[in-house]
Amino acid sequence: MNELVTRDAVELAALIRSREISASELLEAHLDQIAELNPRTNAVVTLDEEGARRSAAEADRTLASGDAVGPLHGLPIAFKDTARTKGLRTTFGHPRFADHVPGGDDPHVRSILAAGAIRLGKTNVPEHAAGSHTVNRVFGATRNPYDPTRSAGGSSGGAAASLASGFQPIADGSDMGGSLRNPASFCNVVGLRPTPGLVPDNAPNGLCPLGVVGPMGRTARDTALLLAVMSANEAHDADALTARAEAIVAEVESAAHDGGDFRGLRVAFAPTLGGRVPVEREVLDVVERQARRLEELGASVELDCPDLDGSDEAFRTLRAAAFDSLWGDELRADPHAFNYYLAGNIRDGGELSGRDVVRAQESLTRLVRRAEEFFGRYDLVIAPAAQVAPFPVELDFPTAVDGQQLENYLDWMRAAYLFTPLGVPALSVPAGFTPSGLPVGLQMLTRRGADVRLLRLAAAIENVNPALRRRPEGAAVL
């Protein structure tokens, strides 16, 4: 393994700008890593080696000419397979789009490429990114790099597994009900669900203001680097964008100077979201250790949770309404067009009335207002990012959690999606491992718009838990 694939994105970008390494050299290191390990994980499902080599060579020529370069110059990235990429197959994990080649890029793809990143390929997703287990009828399942018999989570499971395997130093994802947070938890990386509206996207359905596009990285500062680019105005020139990224990364890195001092930090600990969700004991053990660790380092930690009354109904209603709007006609024309659990959600949406949707929107407004009040009392909420550790890859989804039977495939994702309607930034940061060596993520939330502060707090937690970057026994990961 080339040691370059173990380096952080911030460090790699600096090495390229100083010409200590070339973009082509970095690309080849990642292509070799993909060739060796991707057959084991199935994280990268479309690979554009020749296109990436041409782009990397051009990136090296640009740097040699002395032209200004962006903050991601020379960093390889494979985009989530729901992100439209001009001239590169984008399947959405659905057989109907198995050979689909978009004519344009999504906004965040344009921003990332304009910042100098090298387009490497695409990462695997569930069908239309619906669900937190990455498997589809086009490419099959993505396997967890820590244990290939286990799920990598989803819907950004290909992205998370790719990061953990050293296939790319940064990754994009999206999140409606936990699709950045869940796979980050399963694969021991960082996934940020940004404040809605912070990162532009091409969301086609205004009925559902729940979905966002966001960044992933192996560390909080790498995630901050990508967030700086994804959330920037497309009119920024290379120098302005680089200055913006450097300022945001520096703010996140400043956590290292605190020396693990969390005095004055007001933390609400919601291990079961106020008794609303079952959580496996081995997951609770890990997040409870993190809560105690924060308290030992000076934080004020209290058992508390934002008021989530109405969150479940609002989320399920708006999600189903959006799904029916997007795919209802197709399902009615062909009852077998979608997998059974996505089809069920689409049918649920078709049975909703306009009044149901309006009531859900009203609940959303109340939830956002209550969250604003809650974060007047607390700086941070911590909770499990997922209710279970990575489960066997052949399962569609867990049918029970901590001995409690679940009614449907959404129930095991409630620890993430119940927070979605609050409209606040949320992330998963590595928190520890189960006794069998499976990763567990700590979910962190703060007030609306304080995304960079949230990443800074995540970096502070990373700094006092260096062992969390360890490689489990026998795992082919970083």
Cβ–Cβ < 8 Å for 127, 339: yes
In sequence order, the β-bridge partners of residue 77 are 119
What distance, in Å, lies between the first and last C-alpha atoms of the chain?
10
Cβ–Cβ < 8 Å for 328, 352: no
| The one-letter amino acid at 385 | A
Q: Which residues are catalytic?
A: 80, 155, 179
Assess whether the previous peptide bond of 155 is cis (omega < 30° from 0).
yes
- Please list, in sequence order, all residues whose beta carbon lies within 8 angstroms of the beta carbon of residue 309, skipping any fewer than 6 positions away: none
| DSSP structure class, residue 402 | T
- C-alpha 165/C-alpha 211 separation (Å) is 27
- Please list, in sequence order, all residues whose beta carbon lies within 8 angstroms of the beta carbon of residue 376, skipping any fewer than 6 positions away: none
Cβ–Cβ < 8 Å for 155, 133: no
Please count the other Cβ atoms lying within 10 Å of the Cβ belonging to residue 285. Answer: 14
In sequence order, the β-bridge partners of residue 400 are 405
Cβ–Cβ < 8 Å for 287, 313: no
Nearest alpha-carbon partner for 156 in 198, 120, 192: 192
* 400-401 and 380-384 beta bridge pairing: unpaired
